[in-house]
Amino acid sequence: MDRVAGKVVLVTGAGSGIGRATAKLLADEGATVIVTDINRSGGLETVQQIGGRARFEEQDTSKEADWKRIIEDILAREGRLDGLVNNAGIAGPFPSTFESETVEQWQRILAINVQGVFLGCKHGVPALRSSGGGSIVNLSSLAAFLGTPSLSAYGASKGAVRQFTKTVAIDCARKGYKVRCNSVHPGIILTPMGEGILPNDKAKERVRGSIPIGDFGAPADIAYGILYLISDESRFVTGAELVIDGGMNAI
């Protein structure tokens, strides 16, 4: 019940799916959680489900001004930041091949999935350092390892997150910042985003059958991996890729 006791952790996109499950688990394990999302009602619902040791702030992770405001506010109110989960992300429309993808869709996906993670690291690292060190978890995807013909911009964005995570990890380690940075790579998880690539029951059963472990993942399956990476149990882990996908990447 106290794997992250006393830590202050910011979770972006925590108004739904994996972010909500992560915020709840971190709070269960003793953290104070700052829940942020572009979706106010979803974020407030997460805070209500936690029922204490959590507060909500509206944030668009693609906007630098929002990051400055959120981080300054945390340092003023909580006095420290120990963990950052760069979870907010978008996919779709599904399917989007490289031939059908528009420049506007491509730029929107990269602005949130890649620029959002870059800004989180840029503004989060100084706050983590000033708190004596900490841990960043970036949500990448199984898509970072594979061709994704039906999600072309999404796959590219998650490949970028995987690589950028290692850059931050090594730069911080070599500079003695005491800030770790790792990526998490979910397979297909039943959230609003995951359901979006399973348009009907037939498609769902076909995809389920292709997962070695025989089923889709749940948001909590990813939250437990993130909990480990935010906790001090992973103090020697940085620049790593934690794949949680029911075996799909091992085929």
Tell me how far, at minimum, the Cβ of 2 lies from ligand NAD, in Å: 26
Tell me how far, at minimum, the Cβ of 178 lies from ligand NAD, in Å: 26
Helices of type H across the chain:
17-28, 40-50, 64-77, 103-110, 116-130, 152-174, 192-196, 201-209, 219-230
Residue in 38, 82, 72, 79 with CA at minimum distance from that of residue 56:
38
56-85 footprint of ligand NAD as x/- string (CB under 6 A): ---xxxx-----------------------
Distance (Å, whole) CA 153 – CA 99: 11
> Which residues are within 8 A (CB) of 40 and not within 5 positions of it... i.e. 6 or more apart?
15, 56, 58
Q: Candidates 37-45, 67-75, 101-109, 118-126 — which segment interacts with ligand NAD by CB under 6 A?
A: 37-45
Tell me how far, at minimum, the Cβ of 100 lies from ligand NAD, in Å: 20
Tell me how far, at minimum, the Cβ of 5 lies from ligand NAD, in Å: 25
Identify whether the C-beta of residue 126 lies closer than 8 Å to the C-beta of residue 105: no
Counting residues that bind ligand NAD (by CB under 6 A) gives 31
39 CA to centre of own chain: 16
Respond yes or no: is residue 228 known to be catalytic.
Answer: no
Task: Check binding of 152 to ligand NAD (CB under 6 A).
Answer: no
Distance (Å, whole) CA 142 – CA 200: 22
Binding ligand NAD (rule: CB under 6 A), the pick from 33, 112, 125, 128 is 112
Q: Which is nearer to ligand NAD, 55 or 129 (CB)?
A: 55
Identify whether the C-beta of residue 144 lies closer than 8 Å to the C-beta of residue 185: yes
Binding ligand NAD (rule: CB under 6 A), the pick from 28, 29, 30, 39 is 39
Distance (Å, whole) CA 114 – CA 43: 22
Binding ligand NAD (rule: CB under 6 A), the pick from 47, 88, 243, 244 is 88
Distance (Å, whole) CA 127 – CA 83: 10
Q: Which is nearer to ligand NAD, 18 or 127 (CB)?
A: 18
Binding ligand NAD (rule: CB under 6 A), the pick from 191, 231, 234, 238 is 191
Task: Check binding of 138 to ligand NAD (CB under 6 A).
Answer: no
Catalytic residues: 154
